[in-house]
Amino acid sequence: MAPGGILPHRPPFLFLDEVTSMVAGERAEGYWQLTGEEPFFAGHFPGRPTLPGVLMAEAIAQLGACIVLSDERFAGKLPLFGGLDGARFRRQVVPGDRLDLAVEMTRLSARAGRGQGKASVDGDLACSCELLFVVVSAD
């Protein structure tokens, strides 16, 4: 499933290529295929392009937003970052890597939620974090 039909994000700030499995309001998996053409690689770092950790966390958050927005209770809403806890970056992610993403919601109420997310490359953990978010009107 293409995330563009769910998320309000658009390039150049859409860091999720496909949602491969989903249970609305509960969990999802997806991926971001890095091509090397992404503009941030030119400056992070010249000669050794590396995906910034904060963008790994954003990709995880975008998958989390898909979970929330796929739940009919949140039609017309927008999940906003409320916090990021326990973020750990375990390996370098480089052009050509496919960043596999997984998020599971641990709490989801009418106004806020929490989820656990991870990103990996070829089965090796690249990032793990806990997402905190608030749900607001999209108007």
- Known catalytic residues are 44
Q: How far is CA 118 from the centre of its chain?
A: 9
Neighbour tally for 86: CB within 10 Å:
8
Q: Which residue has the tokens 């690249």?
A: 126
Q: In 3D, which of 22, 24, 25, 54 has the Cα closest to residue 40? A: 54
CA-CA distance, 46 to 41, in Å (whole number)? 8
